[in-house]
């Protein structure tokens, strides 16, 4: 497993990250075993959020990582506040709320600090200075080591890159979603790493039936699936390699966050990743070979 520096921090995160959102809180023993297996395979970056399962995801992950907490990079997120009646959530990054939320997350995760705390979205209406000041206070208090955001909104992450000390931005990024790419120079200049999520495009890039995805029509997705399969067969590659390679060979990307529910699924990902390492793969030449109308 390769470990990459996360932005302007002293954190080194595994190229394959573990997205805890996929854990089944109704199968706690299996979920805990999966997390611990992932750690044993070299994954050191584990990511959750207080939003997932109304906090139950953090509780489960906290139990799973307890034996090796000090040996991992643990991340969570804040900003989506569950309504008291459980009917949904509202956006809230007021200092009062996120100060309460960090303490609740630490309690659920059974730890006294987070390595990375992320603003789980963001809007133009947020009190940016208040959010940043609160995060900086958390750093001084030792509750978090670093902070970042999780946003695909340029008007949000651009301001954070230029006017705060974020070390990362989690963004949806895959062969089917290249929206982050125009901003890679900004991230590099700001020393902010990209944590890529949605790398397999909800499974469409590996084993799921073609469907509409973002601005791609179903037949366009099917065509891309066919191109990926043909390229993989010609070059004797595991079909998961190309989606991983497309993301991880971008120097701005520190980790590809993958969500799995079984050891078998995780093994498939890790097997492909290990084959990827020696692969001489030119992302840009590959990209030119198809879907030219969508990617310049």
> How far is 243 from 164, CA to CA, in rounded Å?
31
Euclidean distance between the first and final Cα of the chain, in Å?
32
Output DSSP code: residue 83.
P
CA-to-CA separations, 212 to 153, 177, 204, 216, 222, in angstroms, rounded: 22, 12, 10, 6, 9
Output DSSP code: residue 147.
E
Phi, psi of 144 (to 5 degrees): -135, 155
Token pair 């139950």 is found at 56
Phi, psi of 16 (to 5 degrees): -105, 120
CA-to-CA separations, 99 to 122, 134, 144, 164, in angstroms, rounded: 17, 8, 12, 18
Residues acting as catalytic residues = 52
Phi, psi of 63 (to 5 degrees): -65, -40
- The answer to whether residues 205 and 176 touch, using CB atoms and an 8 Å cutoff, is yes
> How far is 123 from 106, CA to CA, in rounded Å?
25
Query: Sign of the C-alpha dihedral, residues 26, 51, 7, 213?
Result: positive
């Amino acid at each position: 497993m390769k470990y990459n520096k996360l932005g302007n921090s002293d954190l080194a995160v595994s190229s394959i990250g573990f997205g805890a959102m996929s854990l089944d809180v109704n199968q706690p023993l299996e979920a805990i075993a999966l997390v611990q297996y992932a750690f044993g395979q070299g994954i050191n970056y584990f990511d959750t959020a207080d939003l997932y399962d109304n906090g139950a995801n953090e509780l489960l992950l906290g139990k799973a990582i307890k034996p090796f907490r000090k040996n991992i990079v643990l991340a969570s997120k804040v900003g989506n506040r569950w309504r008291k009646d459980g009917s949904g959530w509202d956006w809230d990054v007021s200092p009062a709320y996120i100060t309460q939320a960090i303490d609740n997350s630490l309690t659920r995760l059974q730890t006294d600090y987070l390595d990375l705390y992320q603003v789980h979205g963001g809007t133009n209406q947020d009190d940016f200075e208040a959010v940043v000041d609160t995060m900086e206070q958390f750093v001084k208090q030792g509750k978090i080591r670093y902070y970042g955001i999780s946003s695909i909104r340029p008007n949000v992450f651009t301001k954070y890159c230029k006017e705060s000390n974020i070390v990362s931005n989690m963004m949806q990024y895959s062969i089917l979603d290249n929206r982050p790419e125009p901003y890679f120079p900004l991230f590099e200049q700001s020393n902010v790493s990209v944590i890529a999520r949605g790398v397999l495009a909800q499974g469409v890039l590996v084993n799921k039936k073609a469907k509409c995805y973002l601005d791609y029509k179903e037949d366009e997705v099917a065509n891309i699936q066919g191109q990926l399969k043909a390229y993989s067969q010609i070059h004797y590659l595991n079909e998961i390699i190309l989606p991983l390679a497309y993301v991880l060979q971008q120097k701005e990307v520190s980790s590809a966050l993958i969500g799995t529910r079984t050891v078998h699924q995780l093994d498939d990902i890790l097997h492909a990743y290990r084959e990827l390492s020696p692969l001489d793969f030119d992302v840009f030449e590959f990209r030119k070979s198809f879907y030219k109308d969508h990617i310049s």
